[in-house]
């Protein structure tokens, strides 16, 4: 009797905790990260500053897409790291998400512009097609294919853990 | 400056709590001076932490947006109430509140007990080390004091309007108070096993505290259910969402625990159970914190995006659980009482009761884990919905009710003599059978499990009414708390069944000034109003509802569009009557100008919450009486 | 002594039988009540019995929404394949053409008869449980 109880109360928690431990350390699992590959959805929107039309043809090669908004506080925190990436010659396309044009331009003037290009997605339609749930979110795209989708603030740790492995695997930004 | 002070106070208190743990465990705790030192250090460090929290509240109220967390989750346009509640609207702040409550439970315990009370100092030590674990988690992985420098934003983020709701704002504190309140019992269980003196009655030392925590948990779950009912526009009161299940598991285990405690505080015969359950209850509370905060389960992914948090919590919780279980299994022989439980005694019924609760906890846990396991093996996403839980909970609850029914009148350490209750038992069965027949004929309830549940609920209620009658007429003693709580259980069984069977809904298609009928109720859309509010526009549909008897009332559901991010929300309107709620939501407008309107009749929904409140009330009364007799 | 041992053996045996039977019943209940989640493309590859409740997730295909009084028909698509969904009632506020959606219901003759429509929330910083609007 005691033997059964004794093993039971120790084995069960150990099994549970090791399961979760393995689950957390599984490569496929990273909270907020999504590694499914799919084509970048078709869109026709305008550029933030010039109001010129933009569609898929204007985006080529390997680049990041960063979804941001002036109302988003976390985007401000993330901004510094994006500037660093931009200085390392990593092209970033911004999607300005559900934001007024003037507010967005004011924000960029205040905090700097790490983006090659900013798409003004006032209604959030492109963002919705890309499965965006809020701001900030960041995508890694190569030749029209989404390789990584990360929900939340990108900082050095996330960059190293989530993006670098994929970049190394496909030998991108070479 | 204030931010740095608050952070410094938190760090300082972390150090002091650790010191306190060392004092309590590695010095002679029977020394009177040492004991008073531990008690004093605890008081001071909890004052430091409380001060830090109050500074934080002040920072939120005074719109200090240089604090990142406050900038992210508050806004200067919010009323002060929601500025305060925004503190626990996301991960960092709610963790801070969780720790504050943990510290406060300990401080309250420290304050009302004598330093010489058995196990006190060691328990304070256990509580202190748990506090240190959580404080390190807070400071290292989820620092609420992080600032945005050099320039603070002029205003905070736009707040999700769904969050601005009183029931949503106040139910997390109740839940946290409940979850973490079981730390007193857990700490005593550990202290008891470390001390190794079986003559100490640890059960009676923690009974009040555990019931208090259970009452908080009960109220918190009820408030959450009520909020989901009116806010989500779905008309349901329980969704078997992983987050709800995570609250339900500790509640089930805690209910088993406080039942076992009532035995053990009379005799020590269920000591293995009580110790084990106290560990399980606290572990389940911590497990809930891990599930919600690690981002493992889909529905909570946005709570935390940092994998370190999950890893830290898992390690910390793992050490606590495996450590205490190892201690438990090494002290088994000290815990076993040697006394044999008599069959058909009150103790024997409560042991069986524990098995029922065990099955329910196990099944709920399985419902949470199985999708994760399945997905990692078969790479196929699945979810476990209400049908599974119903298939387990309904038969289990019925069985438990039947056992309870036969155990009423059982005595401590004595065999229950069923024959002395034969009259009231057979009368209860007879009356309940009649009620089921009425339900079948008059309310046309045909679901077999609903009928069985109504029977199970009503035998309990009727049987307890006999107990009350016996008390009033013959002054035969009965335990009033048990009577109230269990009548609550009976009402819960019946109202859930009736709700399930009688409730109905229908989508209607109505143009303005037109009407439609549903179940004898005439519903007329009389007006549509555009209401302009400071932060949103709303379309209010005004329905004139005429019930079958000819009484009129208005229902005014809304559709709101918030300016901030163009978010659209639906506000239900509910007409509450004794037996049912008439619950209306509006959907989209079609091209021909007509509206889709959803009308629901939710029967006995208030009774479900009422029964939960009855149980909570019984708990409060029991606490009062326990402390009066002491 | 022998009698005690025998009694103990019986207790262990009874516990094992009961817990085995209990676990069997629980797992059986679990197995028959799982809701499988598919994308339209995955659905094409499989045959699903029409009494099995499933979840279909994807986007609402643009231009596919047809309303008739309280009834609504639309296509869920993953931009490779699509599947028709029929539902009676009020759809969530966030239900829109081109937005994310999950339908819970039964498949019959290539049409999903939904009991529930869940729209994906396009908001960040939701509290737990609010990620998908019910």
The pLDDT value recorded for residue B150 is 67
Question: Do residue A115 and residue A60 come from a single domain?
Answer: yes
- B546-602: per-residue pLDDT in tens? 999 999 999 999 998 877 666 778 889 999 999 999 999 998 888 888 999 999 999
Question: Do residue A26 and residue A49 come from a single domain?
Answer: no
Cβ contact A153–B305 (<8 Å): yes
The residue among B355, B383, B395 with the most chain C CBs within 10 A of its CB, best to mutate, is B383
Cβ contact A24–B310 (<8 Å): yes
CB-nearest to C36 from B90, B233, B380 is B380
Question: Do residue A43 and residue A58 come from a single domain?
Answer: yes
CA atoms of B362 and A102, how far apart (whole Å): 56
Q: Is the pLDDT of residue B303 over 70?
A: no
Cβ contact A31–B68 (<8 Å): no
Range of the domain at A15: 1-30
Q: Read out DSSP for B363-399?
A: HHHHHHHHHHHHHHHH---EEE-HHHHHHHHHHHHHH
Q: What is the mean pLDDT of chain B?
A: 90
Total beta-carbon pairs less than 8 A apart between chain B and chain C: 113
Q: Are B220 and B178 in contact (CB under 8 A)?
A: yes
Question: Do residue A88 and residue A164 come from a single domain?
Answer: yes
Closest CA to B220 of B171, B261, B187: B171
The pLDDT value recorded for residue B591 is 86
Nearest CA in chain C to B360: C26
The pLDDT value recorded for residue C1 is 57
What are the angstrom distances between the C-alpha of B499 and each of A42, B237, B493?
Answer: 48, 10, 10
The pLDDT value recorded for residue C133 is 34
The pLDDT value recorded for residue B549 is 92
Q: Are B508 and B518 in contact (CB under 8 A)?
A: yes
Q: Which residues of B36-65 are buried (b: 16+ CB within 10 A; e: fewer)?
A: ebbbebbeebbebbbebbebbeebbbebbb
Cβ contact A125–C120 (<8 Å): no
B 204-233 residues inside an 8 A Cβ radius of C? 232-233
Q: How many residues does chain C have?
A: 134
A134 touches chain B (CB under 8 A): yes
Question: Do residue A23 and residue A36 come from a single domain?
Answer: no
A125 touches chain C (CB under 8 A): yes
Provide the ipTM. Answer: 0.86
Cβ contact A135–C124 (<8 Å): yes
CA atoms of A153 and A161, how far apart (whole Å): 13
Nearest CA in chain A to B323: A10
A111 touches chain B (CB under 8 A): no
Question: Do residue A36 and residue A65 come from a single domain?
Answer: yes
Q: Is the pLDDT of residue B104 over 70?
A: yes
Closest CA to B502 of B579, B612, B589: B579
- B339-361: per-residue pLDDT in tens? 677 778 888 888 888 999 999 99
Question: Do residue A53 and residue A16 come from a single domain?
Answer: no
Q: Is the pLDDT of residue B394 over 70?
A: yes
- A25-61: per-residue pLDDT in tens? 775 667 778 888 888 888 889 999 888 999 888 888 8
Distance (Å) from the alpha carbon of C121 to chain A's nearest alpha carbon: 6
Distance (Å) from the alpha carbon of B111 to chain A's nearest alpha carbon: 34
Distance (Å) from the alpha carbon of A22 to chain C's nearest alpha carbon: 23
Question: Do residue A161 and residue A111 come from a single domain?
Answer: yes
Structural domains of chain A, count: 2
Longest dimension (CA), chain A: 78
C 17-56 residues inside an 8 A Cβ radius of A? none
Q: Where are the domains of chain C?
A: 1-33, 36-133
C1 touches chain B (CB under 8 A): no
Q: What is the pTM of this model?
A: 0.90
Chain B contact partners (≥3 CB pairs within 8 A): A, C
Q: Are C122 and C96 in contact (CB under 8 A)?
A: no
C12 touches chain A (CB under 8 A): yes
Residue matched to tokens 């510290």: B103
Overall average pLDDT of the C109-128 stretch = 65
What are the angstrom distances between the C-alpha of B603 and each of B443, B498, B606?
Answer: 12, 7, 8
Where is pLDDT greater, at B306 or B311?
B311
Least reliable range by pLDDT among A129-133, A158-162, C56-60: A129-133
CA atoms of B103 and B101, how far apart (whole Å): 5
Termini Cα distance of chain C:
62
B 258-297 residues inside an 8 A Cβ radius of C? 292
Q: How confident is the model at residue B26 (pLDDT cuts 50, 70, 90)?
A: confident
Question: Do residue A99 and residue A49 come from a single domain?
Answer: yes
Overall average pLDDT of the B176-199 stretch = 95
Q: Is the pLDDT of residue B307 over 80?
A: no
The pLDDT value recorded for residue B97 is 97
Chain A contact partners (≥3 CB pairs within 8 A): B, C
Tokens of B409: 């009148």
Question: Do residue A8 and residue A53 come from a single domain?
Answer: no
Question: Do residue A38 and residue A19 come from a single domain?
Answer: no
- C42-92: per-residue pLDDT in tens? 888 887 887 788 988 888 888 899 988 889 999 998 777 899 999 998 888
What would be the CATH architecture of the domain defined by C36-133? Beta Barrel (2.40)
Question: Do residue A25 and residue A53 come from a single domain?
Answer: no
The pLDDT value recorded for residue B96 is 97
The residue among A134, A149, A154 with the most chain C CBs within 10 A of its CB, best to mutate, is A134
The pLDDT value recorded for residue C126 is 31
Partner residues linked to B580 by β-bridges: B603
The pLDDT value recorded for residue B299 is 47
The pLDDT value recorded for residue B562 is 76
Overall average pLDDT of the B439-465 stretch = 94
B 583-612 residues inside an 8 A Cβ radius of C? 585-588, 590-591, 594, 596-598
């Amino acid at each position: 009797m005691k033997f059964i109880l004794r093993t039971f109360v120790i084995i069960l928690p150990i099994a549970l905790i090791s399961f979760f431990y393995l689950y957390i350390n599984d490569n496929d699992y990273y909270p907020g990260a999504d590694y499914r590959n799919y084509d970048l959805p078709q869109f026709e929107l305008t550029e933030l500053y010039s109001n010129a039309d933009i569609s898929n043809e204007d985006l080529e090669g390997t680049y990041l897409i960063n979804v941001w908004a002036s109302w988003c506080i976390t985007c401000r925190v993330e901004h510094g790291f994006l500037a660093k990436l931009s200085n390392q010659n990593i092209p970033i396309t911004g999607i300005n998400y559900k934001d007024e044009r003037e507010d967005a331009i004011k924000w960029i003037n205040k905090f700097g512009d790490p983006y090659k290009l900013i798409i003004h997605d006032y209604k959030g339609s492109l963002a919705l097609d890309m499965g965006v749930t809020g701001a900030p979110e960041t995508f890694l795209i190569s030749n029209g294919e989404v390789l990584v989708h990360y929900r939340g603030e990108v900082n050095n740790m996330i960059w190293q853990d989530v993006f670098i492995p994929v970049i190394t695997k496909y030998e991108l930004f070479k | 400056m204030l931010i740095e002070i608050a952070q410094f106070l938190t760090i300082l208190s972390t150090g002091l709590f650790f010191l306190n743990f060392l004092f309590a465990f590695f010095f002679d705790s029977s020394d009177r001076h040492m004991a008073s030192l531990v008690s004093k250090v605890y008081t001071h460090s909890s004052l430091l932490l409380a001060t830090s929290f109050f500074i934080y509240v002040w920072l939120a109220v005074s719109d200090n947006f240089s604090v990142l967390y406050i900038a992210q989750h508050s806004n200067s346009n919010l009323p002060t109430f929601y500025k305060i509640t925004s503190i626990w609207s996301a991960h960092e702040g709610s963790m801070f509140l969780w720790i504050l409550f943990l510290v406060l439970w300990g401080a309250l315990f420290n304050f009302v007990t004598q330093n010489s009370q058995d196990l006190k100092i060691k328990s304070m030590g256990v509580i202190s080390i748990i506090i240190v674990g959580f404080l390190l988690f807070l400071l290292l992985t989820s620092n609420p004091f992080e600032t945005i420098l050099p320039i603070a934003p002029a205003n905070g983020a736009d707040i999700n309007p769904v969050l601005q709701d009183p029931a949503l704002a106040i139910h997390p504190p109740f839940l946290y108070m409940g979850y973490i309140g079981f730390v007193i019992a857990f700490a005593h269980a550990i202290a008891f096993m470390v001390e190794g003196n079986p003559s100490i009655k640890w059960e009676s030392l923690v009974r009040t505290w555990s019931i208090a925590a259970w009452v908080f948990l009960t109220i918190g779950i009820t408030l959450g259910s009520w909020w989901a009912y009116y806010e989500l526009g779905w008309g349901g009161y329980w969704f078997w969402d992983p987050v709800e299940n995570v609250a339900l598991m500790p509640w089930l285990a805690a209910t088993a625990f406080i039942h076992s405690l009532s035995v053990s505080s009379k005799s020590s015969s269920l000591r293995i159970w009580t110790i084990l359950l106290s560990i399980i209850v606290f572990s389940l509370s911590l497990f809930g914190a891990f599930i919600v905060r690690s981002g493992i389960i889909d529905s909570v992914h946005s709570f935390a995006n940092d994998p370190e948090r999950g890893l830290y919590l898992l390690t910390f919780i793992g050490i606590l659980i495996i450590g205490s279980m190892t201690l438990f299994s090494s002290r088994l022989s000290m815990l076993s009482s040697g006394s044999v439980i008599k069959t058909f005694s009150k103790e024997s019924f409560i042991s069986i009761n524990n098995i029922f609760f065990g099955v329910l906890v196990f099944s709920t846990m399985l419902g949470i884990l199985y999708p994760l396991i399945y997905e990692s093996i078969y790479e196929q996403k699945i979810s476990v919905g209400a049908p599974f839980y119903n298939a387990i909970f309904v038969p289990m609850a019925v069985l438990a009710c039947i056992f309870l029914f036969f155990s009423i009148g059982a005595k401590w350490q004595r065999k229950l003599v069923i024959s002395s209750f034969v009259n009231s038992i057979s009368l209860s069965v007879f009356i309940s059978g009649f009620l089921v027949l009425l339900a079948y004929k008059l309310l046309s309830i045909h679901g077999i499990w609903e009928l069985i549940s109504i029977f199970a609920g009503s035998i309990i209620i009727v049987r307890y009414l006999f107990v009350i009658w016996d008390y009033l007429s013959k002054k035969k003693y009965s335990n009033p708390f048990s009577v109230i709580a269990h009548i609550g259980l009976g009402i819960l069984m019946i109202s859930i069944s009736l709700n399930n069977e009688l409730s109905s809904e229908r989508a209607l298609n109505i143009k303005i000034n037109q009407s439609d009928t549903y179940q004898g109720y005439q519903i007329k859309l009389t007006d549509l109003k555009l209401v302009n509010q400071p932060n949103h526009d709303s379309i209010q549909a005004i329905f004139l509802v005429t019930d079958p008897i000819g009484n009129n009332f208005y229902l005014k559901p809304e559709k709101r569009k918030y300016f901030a991010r163009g978010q659209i929300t639906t506000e239900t309107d509910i007409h509450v009557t004794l037996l049912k709620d008439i619950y209306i939501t509006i959907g989209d407008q079609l091209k021909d100008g007509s509206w889709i309107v959803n009308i629901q009749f939710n029967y006995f929904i208030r009774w479900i919450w009422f029964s939960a409140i009855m149980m909570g009330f019984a708990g409060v009364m029991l606490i009062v009486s326990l402390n009066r007799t002491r | 002594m022998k009698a005690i041992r025998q009694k103990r053996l019986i207790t262990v045996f009874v516990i094992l039988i009961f817990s085995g039977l209990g676990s069997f019943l629980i797992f059986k209940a679990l197995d028959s009540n799982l809701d499988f989640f598919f994308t339209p493309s995955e659905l094409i590859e499989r045959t699903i019995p029409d009494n099995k409740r499933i979840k279909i997730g994807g986007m609402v295909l643009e231009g596919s929404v047809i309303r008739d009084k309280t009834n609504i028909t639309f296509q869920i698509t993953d931009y490779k394949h699509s599947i028709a969904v029929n539902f009676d009632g009020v759809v969530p506020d966030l239900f829109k053409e081109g937005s994310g959606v999950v339908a819970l219901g039964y498949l019959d003759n290539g049409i999903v008869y939904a009991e529930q429509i869940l729209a994906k929330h396009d908001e960040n910083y939701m509290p737990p449980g609010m990620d998908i609007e019910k």
